[in-house]
Structure 1
Amino acid sequence: MSAPDATDRALLRLVAEDATRSAADLGRALGLSQPAAWRRLRRLEDSGAIRGRRLDLDAQAAGFGVTVFLGVKLAAKGRASLEDFERAAAAIPEVQTVEHVLGLYDYRLRVVARDIPDFERLLRRRIMTLPGAGAVEANVLLSEERRPGPL
C-alpha cells in the first residue's frame, strides 16, 4: 500500500474515535460515497494500518479495581527465554499488555486485579512463576488522565 494520504489519515482519526461508525457515516463526514469510504477502510485493514476494532471496557466497572505496572527483569536471557516469557505472560487473562522494553527491566506488564490481595495472589502464583522471571518492580496506578488514542 502507498503511504496514507490526508483522507486516509482523517478516516483513521474518525475510526479511532468511534470504530462503530458505518462506512456511509464516515463517507458523509469526509465527503466520500459509502463505497469509496468502505474501499478505503478495507485497504487500510488489508495493509495493517487498522489491526482490528475492540471494545473499551471500564476495568473498575467490570470488577477490576487495581491496575499495576510491573517491570520484569529476566533471570536468564536468550531468544528462547524471551519467546517463552512473552507467550506465558500473554496467556494470563489479567495481563493486559506485555511490552518488551529497553532499560532497567526487560518487560513492562499492565496487570489488572480485583483488589490488592487478588493482585498478590496473581503475582505469587502466576507472574513470579513465568519462565525466566527474575526481579520484579510493581507500580500501582493511582489515576489515569489520558488513555492511548488516535495517533
Structure 2
Amino acid sequence: MPDATDRRILRQLLADPDAPNAELARRAGVTPTSLWRRLDRLRDRGIIAGIQARIDWRAMGYEVQVSLRFTLDKTDPRAFDDFIAAAREVPEVTEIQTFLGSVDLRLSVIARDMAHWQQIYRDRILRLPHVSDSDALMLVSTIKDSAELAL
C-alpha cells in the first residue's frame, strides 16, 4: 500500500502530469532521486499503469459522442467474443466495456458530425454480431471527467 509520501507524489502527478520531475519532487516535498525511486516502485507494483495523452476529440473535429448499450443474444457461446472482436475493428469506437445486469456491453463512439454518425451506425454498428437489443445515448455535455480520487 502506498505511504503518505507516495500519495503526495500521486496527487501531484495527477494534478500536473506534464510537470518536470524536479518540479514534482519539490511539490511533493522529496528529493528528485527519491521521487525517481518511488515512481519506479509505484510502476513496478502496478499502481502507476502508464502515462497517457488525453486527446480532445472535439478539437480534432469529432463533434458527436454516443454511448451505445447492447444486450446480446447469448444463445451462441461465442457471442461476447465475436461482438468484441467486431467492435474493435470499428475505428471510431474509443471504449468497450462489459457489464453484469440487463446491459451486456457499452461502446463509446465518436463521429465528426451527424452525417458521419449515421454512416458509422448504418455501415458498422448495425452489423455487429449477436445483438438482441441496443440503446443509444448522445452526449450533450460532460460535467465531470476526472480520474482523481482523494489520496
Say whether the fold is shared (TM-score over 0.5). yes
* TM-score normalised over the length of structure 2: 0.88
CA distance in 2, matches of 1:52, 1:79: 34
Could you tell me which residue of structure 2 aligns to residue 99 of structure 1? 97
1:44 corresponds, among 22, 42, 47, to 42
CA contact (8 A) 2:96 2:107 kept: yes
In structure 1, how many angstroms separate the alpha carbons of the residues matched to 2:7 and 2:141? Answer: 31
Match of 1:87 among 76, 85, 88: 85
Count the aligned residue pairs.
149
Give me the identity figure in percent: 37
**Amino acid aligned to 2:136:** A
Q: Contact 1:23/1:37 (CA < 8 Å) preserved in 2? A: yes
For the aligned residue pairs, the C-alpha RMSD in angstroms reads: 1.8
Of 5, 11, 26, the residue aligned with 2:9 is 11
Q: Output the amino acid matched with 2:50.
A: G
> Any unmatched runs of 5+ in structure 1?
none
Large movers: runs of 4+ above 6 Å? none
Determine the structure 1 residue equivalent to 2:56.
58
**Preserved contact between residue 66 and residue 114 of structure 1 (Cα < 8 Å):** yes
Q: TM-score scaled by structure 1?
A: 0.88
Which amino acid in the other structure matches residue 124 of structure 2? R
Gaps of at least 5 residues in structure 2 are none
Deviations 1:51-96 (A, max 9, x none): 1111222221111000111101112266633233223323322111
**Separation in structure 1 between the aligned mates of residue 89 and residue 38 of structure 2, nearest angstrom:** 34
- What pairs up with 1:63-142 in 2 under 5 angstroms? 63-76=61-74, 80-142=78-140
Measured in 2, the distance between the counterparts of 1:32 and 1:7 equals 8
Change (3 A) 1:88 1:36: farther
Contact 1:100–1:107 (CA<8 Å) still a contact in 2? yes
| Cα offset, 1:110, TM superposition | 1.2
Residue 68 of structure 2 aligns to a residue whose secondary structure is strand
